[in-house]
Amino acid sequence: MTGSFTGPQQRAITAPHSVAISAGAGSGKTRVLAERVVHLLEGGVTPGQIAAVTFTEAAAAELRERIATYVEARAQVDPPRWASVQSRLPLMQVSTIHGLCGRVAREHPVESGAGLNFAVLDESEAAEWLEEHLAPVLAELPVEVLIELPGRIRADVI
Ligand SMILES: Nc1ncnc2c1ncn2[C@@H]1O[C@H](COP(=O)(O)OP(=O)(O)OP(=O)(O)O)[C@@H](O)[C@H]1O
Ligand SMILES: [Mg+2]
């Protein structure tokens, strides 16, 4: 870990409400996000209660590694407090949205409606699936919602 936090970083890390971070390359966005997770852990949230979603697998791996590094730093200073958090870190869900949905579908096949042998569709299979299912979904929408959408973009919006 390098240096202390700037005021805006500190506020983003500890804010009890949602925050959106927009900052330049290499300015500490990932650090703030990882510290925000560690701050939650510090407050008693358990690793299994946290889900972090990233756009790419690489970003998920980076975030997971950062969180582990920052927790390790705290465990060095205060082992009794952080040892159990550290051992439970693998329970934290840090993944892409596909990873998160895959886990929900695998662990809750009935409740999620995914069934026992669900599969993730590739791009062309997904387009085919959408073609088949879009019309019935449109048919279920209240007509007052539908007429608000210009026909040209209706499919994209939905
Ligand atoms: N306030 C700070 N003082 C000193 N160093 C900092 C501070 N904030 C972040 N850093 C360090 O700056 C480096 C870049 O941080 P980080 O990777 O979090 O940036 P980023 O905005 O996510 O970068 P990228 O745009 O590449 O994703 C890291 O080594 C991090 O520890
Ligand atoms: Mg980053």
Domain range summary for the chain, segments of one domain joined by +: 7-93, 121-158
pLDDT at 142: 86
The residue to mutate among 5, 6, 31, 56, having the most atoms of ligand 1 within 8 angstroms of its beta carbon, is 31
Judged against a pLDDT cut of 60, whether residue 1 lies above it is answered with no
Query: Alpha helix locations (H) across 43-158?
Result: 57-77, 79-88, 97-107, 123-140, 143-146, 151-157
Judged against a pLDDT cut of 80, whether residue 156 lies above it is answered with no
Find the 30 Cα to ligand 1 centroid distance in Å.
7
- Looking at 12-16, 42-46, 113-117, which range is the least confident one? 113-117
- Nearest-CA neighbor of 78 among 30, 33, 38? 38
- Looking at 2-6, 54-58, 126-130, which range is the least confident one? 2-6
Give the C-alpha separation, 38 to 87, whole Å: 14
Q: Is 94 helix (H, G, I), strand (E, B) or coil?
A: strand
Q: Which residues line ligand 1 (CB under 6 A)?
A: 2-3, 5-6, 9, 23, 25-31
Q: Which ligand is nearest to the CA of 66?
A: 1
pLDDT in tens, 91-113: 999 999 999 999 999 999 999 99
Determine the topology of domain 7-93 in CATH. Answer: Rossmann fold (3.40.50)
Find the 59 Cα to ligand 2 centroid distance in Å.
8
Ligand 1 atom with minimal separation from the 9 CA? 1
pLDDT in tens, 41-84: 999 999 999 999 999 999 999 999 999 999 999 999 999 999 99
Find the 23 Cα to ligand 1 centroid distance in Å.
10
Ligand 1 atom with minimal separation from the 23 CA? 21
Judged against a pLDDT cut of 80, whether residue 154 lies above it is answered with no
Neighbours of ion ligand 2 (CB under 5 A): 29-30
Q: Is 52 helix (H, G, I), strand (E, B) or coil?
A: strand
Q: Which ligand is nearest to the CA of 54?
A: 2
